[in-house]
Amino acid sequence: MALVLFCSNRPLERALADAVLFRSGIDRVQVHSAAEALARVAQGGVGLLCVHRNILGIEAMVKEIRKSPTHRRISVVVLSENDFDPTEVEFLEAGANAILRLPPGEDFNERISRLMAVPARREVRLPVRLQVSAISGFGATVPVLALNLSVSGLLIESNHLLNMGDEIQVSFRIEEAGALVSAIAHVTRTAGPNRYGAQFTEITEGEDALKDFLANPSLA
């Protein structure tokens, strides 16, 4: 399997002892700086990069990885013992997949397991409808365009303003299969004017149909 690369200036075995990352059968390497992490990524074989919040240069490191045609699909997770800090949004905007808290919570292993599997990704353009749920409980259905779709999330384009961390409900129909796909996602990054990256937290309907669609070029 692909290697898990840890970038931390402290041992993580104790904090992650019960996590899937430290189970048998998973190859692990630890480095101590962003520069070392980039050098190890350049050697190939890295499937997941876990970087501690206190490492300097995280944002620049993630941007460098995302610029690489060879390594841009590596999943990047930022680990932190602290509560949410607004500055962490910069990591997500740079291209990090998630920020996870230590010690691991109930959903830690599930989220890590999804990120360890490199998702199939195809450039597709699908019309979808997006249900935006505000804190007040008021929701509005707005049209958006899916520019890029994977089993872990999608890139959307919309004139409706979305904010980092917004929870959204998205649904679209795969016409060739006659299947409806519905999912709950969180906005994790901005990707240009009116464009947002959203990561699925739960696919409530049509997960198998989505995987078949992404795996089968004939359905494009």
Give residue 123's pLDDT: 54
> Partners of 145 in the beta sheet?
127, 157
Predicted local distance difference test score (pLDDT) of residue 125: 59
Between CA 96 and CA 90 the distance in angstroms is 9
Kindly give the parts of the chain with pLDDT less than 50: 118, 135-138, 217-220
Task: Tell me the whole-structure pTM to 2 decimals.
Answer: 0.59
Examine the domain organization and report whether 22 and 72 are in the same domain: yes
Count the neighbouring beta carbons within 10 Å of the beta carbon of residue 173. Answer: 17
Domain boundary among 62, 87, 116: 116
Contacts of 118 (CB under 8 A, 6+ apart): 2, 47, 73, 75
- In this prediction, residue 217 carries a pLDDT of 46
Q: What is the CATH number of the domain that holds 53?
A: 3.40.50.2300
Task: Using the 3D structure, point to which of 82, 116, 150 is the last residue of a domain.
Answer: 116
Same domain assignment for residues 130 and 98: no
Pair 11, 83 in one domain? yes
Do 28 and 73 lie in a common domain?
A: yes
Domain end call among 116, 131, 146: 116
Q: What is the DSSP string of 171-220?
A: EEEETTTTEEEEEEEEEEEE-STTEEEEEEEEEEE-HHHHHHHHH-GGG-
Q: Which domain holds residue 104?
A: 3-116
Same domain, 37 and 111: yes
pLDDT at site 69: 83
- Together in a domain, 143 and 210: yes
Q: Are residues 101 and 168 in the same domain?
A: no
Do residues 109 and 158 share a domain? no
What total of structural domains would you count in the chain? 2
85 and 180 co-located in one domain: no
Q: Clarify whether residues 41 and 97 are in a common domain.
A: yes
Q: Same domain for 214 and 198?
A: yes
The rounded distance, in Å, linking the Cα atoms of 29 and 47 is 12
CATH classification at residue 170: 2.40.10.220
| One domain for residues 48 and 91 | yes
